[in-house]
């Protein structure tokens, strides 16, 4: 996914002279082509993310379109106040990209995990929050973000994530994409964890439960239009994210339900309110937190039987 | 009129207006505002290429009040410069207005480039603006006024290293070195001194001046931008509460509000009445 980011941001930089890429000393060789194509518009800002975010705001307030890139915790929680004040308060059109979101870097420990980013950035006025599910959505997310005049946060994976879409048309920020239609349950997913959701949907189909799998690539603004329809047409909504259960996709759906007096059964699947103290691969971490397809299918099956 | 005299006269009027506003609107940070008045008036009435009638002119110089709590001083200077009528400031501190302790965002007040107040943000934003000037092949300069206490913030030094590393020579910071921060002597809170050597070690051209001496300020600004690719740091030695004898170097005036008698005494000292 990060290779797709590097490729797409380079393509856009050639087309759009406003684009400036700021990196927090990350992506060795990843941006060589960008640097070749637009040497005046690439800055390695060093390991100083607070300053990098303020610099991005300054660039944006001067008519340029900065894209800030580093590992997710460092481009979100590390510099939250700069995002809040310099970017959002000033309505500066900065695109913030967090690579290795969720448990992508499970083996690096909680310093590099990112299970709070969507929750906290979602609280900021003006900010859009996106979690594309694959490289296709990421490319579209970047191009769509550049059309907005407001800040956008995009959390992405690292590498090797499966492509979910063969091709993608009519992509819009805030409009979810139905990956597979279904009748009984709506399974809305934020980010690359959707591959586990698709696997779960297959297993549930074998048990006679029809699951619609949706890429909810934008959690703010929320695709309420889809949710209102889902509340009418399905018996249950499951939200799935590689993020804490507090305040992410599940949290925003719960708020939407409360604000609109919606009564459909909704289950939040995400990580618990804890730090993961043991190391392991992303697969290990997903397994531990019940976020693998087989486990998801098991949980959803039981919930569905008890409706 | 001689430029020095003109700026000095303006500074007296600005000081008087700040003190009266503080009294009327119960506005704190008086000492911090008074220490930077001469720097502001020198910049706005001799140095900055800005047009009050076209505040968004693309190639304008940018001024960032990184020590955002000096906004009551900046508001007066911007009004005097003609960005908005002086009478607008009558609403200072009133509910629903824009004039309070810190600058609003640029879209809410002409002449403002950044909504500061959280220290350590303005200068790095100004660095971004200075970089934009270079990327966009323009030739404007960016000036950021920092408090000495503000130099406690790590982001100032992150920005200092990046600016020097990328040779952003169109960025000038002025440190309003009034020797006090909110609750203590600056040098007693952190290892502040030697501040000039610190900026030099970070790769900046450095100039030390008396921040209340207009000629020294003009001379310092005339040396910017440097011809060696380095950004410029001007260490302006100032006195907190400058201009009013009973406020000078008394840190109680960081938060204290003057009463009517103190306003009158100040105006007499400033030669306003």
C-alpha to C-alpha distances, A307 to A265, A267, A284, A301, nearest whole angstrom = 8, 12, 30, 10
What confidence score (pLDDT) does residue B57 get? 97
From chain B, the residues in CB contact with A66 under 8 A are 128
Q: Which of A46, A82, A86 sits opposite B161 (nearest CB)?
A: A46
Q: Is B245 helix (H, G, I), strand (E, B) or coil?
A: coil
Determine the residue among B135, B140, B165 to mutate to test chain A binding: the one whose Cβ has the most chain A Cβ atoms within 10 Å: B135
Residue B197 neighbours by CB distance under 10 Å = 10
From chain B, the residues in CB contact with A65 under 8 A are none
Alpha helices, DSSP H only, in A105-175? 117-122, 135-147
| Sign, Cα dihedral of B65, B71, B77, B83 | positive
B-chain residue closest to A17, CA distance = B136
DSSP B253: G
What's the start-to-end Cα distance of chain A, in Å?
Answer: 38
Residue A69 neighbours by CB distance under 10 Å = 27
* A2-155 shares its CATH topology with A177-305: yes
Contact B232, B170 (CB under 8 A): no
CATH number for the domain spanning B58: value is 3.40.50.970
User: Sorting pLDDT into bands at 50, 70 and 90, what band is B204?
Assistant: very high
What does the alpha-carbon distance between residue A62 and residue A143 come to, in Å, rounded to a whole number? 20
Residue A178 neighbours by CB distance under 10 Å = 13
pTM across the whole model: 0.97
Q: Is B236 helix (H, G, I), strand (E, B) or coil?
A: strand
What confidence score (pLDDT) does residue A190 get? 98
What confidence score (pLDDT) does residue B1 get? 73
What confidence score (pLDDT) does residue B153 get? 98
From chain A, the residues in CB contact with B133 under 8 A are 62
Max CA distance (Å), chain A: 60
* Residue-wise pLDDT tens digits, B101-138: 999 999 999 999 999 999 999 999 999 999 999 999 99
Q: Is A45 on the interface with B (CB under 8 A)?
A: yes
Determine the residue among B128, B151, B157 to mutate to test chain A binding: the one whose Cβ has the most chain A Cβ atoms within 10 Å: B128
| Sign, Cα dihedral of A50, A53, A55, A57 | negative
Residue A160 neighbours by CB distance under 10 Å = 9
pLDDT cut 90: percent of chain B above it: 99
Q: Which of B106, B118, B158 sits opposite A81 (nearest CB)?
A: B118
What does the alpha-carbon distance between residue B124 and residue B160 come to, in Å, rounded to a whole number? 8
Q: How many CA atoms lie within 13 A of A126 on its CB side?
A: 17
* Consecutive 10-residue averages of pLDDT for chain A (307 residues): 96 98 94 97 98 98 98 98 98 98 96 97 98 97 98 95 89 97 98 98 98 98 98 98 98 98 98 96 97 98 96
From chain B, the residues in CB contact with A81 under 8 A are 118, 121
Determine the residue among B59, B68, B105, B131 to mutate to test chain A binding: the one whose Cβ has the most chain A Cβ atoms within 10 Å: B131
What does the alpha-carbon distance between residue B198 and residue B189 come to, in Å, rounded to a whole number? 16
What does the alpha-carbon distance between residue B113 and residue B95 come to, in Å, rounded to a whole number? 23
| Domain A177-305: assigned CATH number | 3.40.50.920
A-chain residue closest to B107, CA distance = A90
H/E element, B127: helix B122-135
Q: Give the range of the structural domain holding residue B214, as residue numbers without chain letter.
A: 3-270
Please report, for chain A, the start and end positions of each structural domain, with discontinuous segments joined by +. Answer: 2-155, 177-305
What does the alpha-carbon distance between residue A38 and residue A103 come to, in Å, rounded to a whole number? 32
Contact B29, B2 (CB under 8 A): no
Residue A261 neighbours by CB distance under 10 Å = 6
Q: Which of B115, B127, B155 sits opposite A89 (nearest CB)?
A: B115
The complex's ipTM works out to: 0.97
Q: Is A68 on the interface with B (CB under 8 A)?
A: no
Q: Domain total for chain B?
A: 1
What confidence score (pLDDT) does residue B78 get? 98
Contact A118, A129 (CB under 8 A): yes
From chain A, the residues in CB contact with B115 under 8 A are 85, 89-90
Contact A198, A180 (CB under 8 A): yes
Q: Is A62 on the interface with B (CB under 8 A)?
A: yes
- Number of A/B CB contacts below 8 angstroms equals 97
Length of chain A, please?
307
Q: Is A64 on the interface with B (CB under 8 A)?
A: yes
What confidence score (pLDDT) does residue A28 get? 85
What does the alpha-carbon distance between residue B65 and residue A253 come to, in Å, rounded to a whole number? 41
**Mean pLDDT over the full length of chain B:** 97
- CATH architecture of the region A2-155: 3-Layer(aba) Sandwich (3.40)
User: Sorting pLDDT into bands at 50, 70 and 90, what band is B182?
Assistant: very high
Assess whether pLDDT exceeds 90 at residue B19: yes
What does the alpha-carbon distance between residue B174 and residue B35 come to, in Å, rounded to a whole number? 12
What confidence score (pLDDT) does residue A216 get? 98
H/E element, A10: helix A2-15
What confidence score (pLDDT) does residue A167 get? 83
What confidence score (pLDDT) does residue A27 get? 86
Q: Which of A40, A46, A62 sits opposite B162 (nearest CB)?
A: A46
């Amino acid at each position: 996914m990060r290779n797709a980011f590097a490729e797409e941001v380079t393509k856009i930089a050639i087309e759009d002279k406003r684009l400036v890429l700021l990196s927090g000393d990350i992506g060795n060789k990843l941006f060589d082509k960008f640097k070749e194509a637009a040497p005046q518009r690439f800055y390695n800002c060093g390991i100083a993310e607070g300053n990098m975010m303020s610099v991005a705001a300054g660039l944006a307030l001067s008519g340029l379109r900065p894209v800030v890139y580093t590992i997710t915790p460092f481009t979100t929680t590390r510099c939250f106040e700069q995002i809040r004040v310099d970017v959002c308060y000033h309505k500066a059109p900065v695109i913030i990209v967090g690579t290795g979101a969720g448990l992508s870097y499970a083996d690096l420990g909680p310093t590099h995990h990112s299970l709070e980013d969507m929750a906290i950035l979602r609280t900021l006025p003006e900010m859009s929050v996106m979690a594309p599910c694959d490289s296709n959505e990421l490319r579209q997310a970047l191009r769509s973000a550049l059309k907005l005049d407001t800040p956008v946060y995009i959390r992405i994976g690292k590498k090797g994530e499966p492509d979910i879409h063969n091709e993608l048309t009519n992509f819009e920020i805030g409009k979810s994409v139905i990956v597979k239609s279904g009748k009984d349950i709506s399974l809305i997913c934020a980010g690359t964890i959707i591959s586990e959701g698709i696997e779960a949907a297959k297993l549930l189909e074998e048990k006679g439960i029809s699951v619609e799998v949706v890429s909810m690539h934008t959690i703010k603004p929320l695709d309420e239009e889809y949710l209102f329809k889902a509340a009418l047409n399905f018996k249950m909504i499951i939200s799935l994210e590689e993020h804490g259960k507090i305040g992410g996709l599940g949290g925003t759906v719960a708020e939407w339900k409360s604000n609109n007096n919606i009564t459909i059964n909704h289950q939040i699947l995400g990580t618990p309110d804890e730090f993961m103290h043991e190391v392991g691969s992303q697969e290990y971490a997903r397994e531990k937190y019940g976020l693998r397809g087989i486990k998801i299918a098991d949980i959803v099956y039981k919930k569905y039987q008890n409706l | 009129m001689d430029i020095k005299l003109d700026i000095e006269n303006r500074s007296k009027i600005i000081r008087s207006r700040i003190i009266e506003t503080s009294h009327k609107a119960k506005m704190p940070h008086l000492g911090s505002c008074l220490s930077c008045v001469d720097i502001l008036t020198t910049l706005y009435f001799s140095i900055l290429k800005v047009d009050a009638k076209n505040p968004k002119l693309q190639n304008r110089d940018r001024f960032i009040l990184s020590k955002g709590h000096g906004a009551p001083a900046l508001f007066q200077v911007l009004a005097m410069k003609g960005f908005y009528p002086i009478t607008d400031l009558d609403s200072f501190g009133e509910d629903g207005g824009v004039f309070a302790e810190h600058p609003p965002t640029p879209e809410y007040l002409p002449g403002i480039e950044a909504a500061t107040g959280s220290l350590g943000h303005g200068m790095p934003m100004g660095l971004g603006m200075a970089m934009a000037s270079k990327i966009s092949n323009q030739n404007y300069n960016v000036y950021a006024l920092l408090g000495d206490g503000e130099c406690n913030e790590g982001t100032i030094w992150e920005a200092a290293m990046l600016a020097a590393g990328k040779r952003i020579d169109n960025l000038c910071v002025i440190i309003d070195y009034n020797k006090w921060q909110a609750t203590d002597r600056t040098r007693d809170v952190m290892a502040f001194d030697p501040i000039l050597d610190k900026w030099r070690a970070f790769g900046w051209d450095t100039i030390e001046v008396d921040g209340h001496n207009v000629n020294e300020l003009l001379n310092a600004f005339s040396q910017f931008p440097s011809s060696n690719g380095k950004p410029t740091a001007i260490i302006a030695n100032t006195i907190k509460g400058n201009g009013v004898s009973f406020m000078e170097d008394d840190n109680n005036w960081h938060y204290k509000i003057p009463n009517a008698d103190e306003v009158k005494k100040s105006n007499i000292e400033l030669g306003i009445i």
